Copies of this chain bind each other. A is one copy, B any other.
Amino acid sequence: MTDRTIAEIGEAELIARFAERAIAPFPEVIVENGDDAAAFLPRNGLAVVTTTDALVEGVHFELYFSDPRSVGRKLVSVNLSDLAAMGAEPRYMLLSACLPRSTPLRVVEGIAEGVRSRCAEFRVHLFGGNVSRTSGPIVLSATLLGEIAPDRVMTRRGSVAGDAIWVTGSLGDARAGLELVRTGKRDEALTRALVDPTPRVAEGIGLAKSGLVHAACDLSDGLGRDLRRLLMPLGLGAEIDPRAVPISRALLASGLDPVTTAVEGGEDYELLFTAPIDRRDDLARALGSTALTLIGRVVDRPIFELVEAEGERAPLPGGFDHFAHVEDRR
């Protein structure tokens, strides 16, 4: 049986695959899907927060281990994670899909179903976008728009020496999931962390509302790299306690080195933030039932180290770079 492909349907019909069954439209939307652009009325006094992120077939996903629905969900999740890092409430989405004509219709329908399900869960309204033909791999690019009171926005600036460094959830599961896929093994929790991560939207909103956070970002490129990005521009560094880094049972059972995997691994989509050390209870309250872990402290020079209880120091591993690395790690 051969798959039907999108070459058999028109552009309008293809767009309808994504747009159909949208959640109940928001009263603030004044122009919907199907016009030259979409339009909304921002809520009174709120700032608009916006981000764009892409998933590329062969780089960010492979259809042989991610089902299309998960790809669609992850596209929304990675963008939600960026808004979560700012503390914004997600509201609207635009989708740009570049698809080869040979793309099976079931793949597009799966992606669209995943996008819609994730949008519905987080009350995001997909209200515009475009589809284009491409000769190459599938490229899905989403733009998310959210809102937040302007004086509550969390940014990457604002850390000071002496701040405590905190993370949500546990680290390294997505990386472990990727390693397992490569060796043909499979673990439910680790695979899920890789193909269908959970963005910390409510947690980000809670932290922003608490007003306690000095700086925040999401962990998309690994603790080692994201921590450097957060602190190096300020001339600051970090001492991380390797025993404090939160590790899941699944990662512990995987046979991989847990701390290296947790520190180097990307795509965790947990939140990393700095805040005063004496506000643990308030921070925990802001996060609800999500785990909060103190993993280290900010220091006043741009040095990034793992510091053992015995005082032994080692450089904090670094994460990856999409373009510069000689060894292709993704």
Which residues does chain B contribute within 8 Å of A135, judged by CB atoms?
56, 58-59, 136-137
Binds B, one of A6-14, A186-194, A243-251: A6-14
Beta-carbon contact of B52 and A143 below 8 Å: yes
Kindly state the separation between the CA atoms of A37 and B54 in the bound complex, as whole angstroms: 14
Beta-carbon contact of A132 and B86 below 8 Å: no
Which residues does chain B contribute within 8 Å of A40, judged by CB atoms?
47-48
0/1 string, A124-148, CB within 8 A of B gives 1? 0000111111111101010111101
Beta-carbon contact of B134 and A59 below 8 Å: yes
Within 8 A of B (CB), among A142-166: 143-146, 148, 150, 153, 155-156
Which residues does chain B contribute within 8 Å of A24, judged by CB atoms?
none
Kindly state the separation between the CA atoms of A50 and B49 in the bound complex, as whole angstroms: 13
Q: Does A254 contact B (CB under 8 A)?
A: no
Beta-carbon contact of B134 and A56 below 8 Å: yes
Kindly state the separation between the CA atoms of A186 and B203 in the bound complex, as whole angstroms: 58
Beta-carbon contact of B31 and A130 below 8 Å: no
- Tell me which of B30, B52, B53, B88 contacts A47 (CB under 8 A): B30
Kindly state the separation between the CA atoms of A49 and B39 in the bound complex, as whole angstroms: 4
Beta-carbon contact of B101 and A323 below 8 Å: yes
Beta-carbon contact of A42 and B39 below 8 Å: no
Beta-carbon contact of A48 and B54 below 8 Å: no
Beta-carbon contact of B54 and A130 below 8 Å: yes
0/1 string, A153-189, CB within 8 A of B gives 1? 1011000000000000000000000000000000000
9 additional A-B pairs beyond A11-B321, A37-B88, beta carbons within 8 Å, are A10-B321, A35-B217, A37-B51, A37-B86, A37-B144, A52-B96, A54-B139, A56-B134, A58-B134
Q: Does A268 contact B (CB under 8 A)?
A: no
Closest CB of chain B to A275's CB: distance in Å? 17
Within 8 A of B (CB), among A14-56: 14, 30-31, 34-42, 47-54, 56
Interface residues on A, range: 35 or more
Beta-carbon contact of B56 and A94 below 8 Å: no
Which residues does chain B contribute within 8 Å of A95, judged by CB atoms?
52
Which residues does chain B contribute within 8 Å of A49, judged by CB atoms?
31, 37-39
A36 with B322: in contact, given A58-B135, A134-B56 (CB under 8 Å)?
Answer: no
Beta-carbon contact of A141 and B38 below 8 Å: no
- Tell me which of B9, B36, B39, B42 contacts A217 (CB under 8 A): B36
Kindly state the separation between the CA atoms of A321 and B15 in the bound complex, as whole angstroms: 12
Query: 9 tightest CB-CB pairs across the interface, nearest first?
Result: A136-B136, A37-B51, A36-B85, A143-B143, A10-B324, A141-B141, A42-B42, A39-B49, A36-B82
Closest CB of chain B to A59's CB: distance in Å? 5
Q: Does A83 contact B (CB under 8 A)?
A: yes
Beta-carbon contact of B51 and A94 below 8 Å: yes
- Nearest B residue (CB) for A99: B323
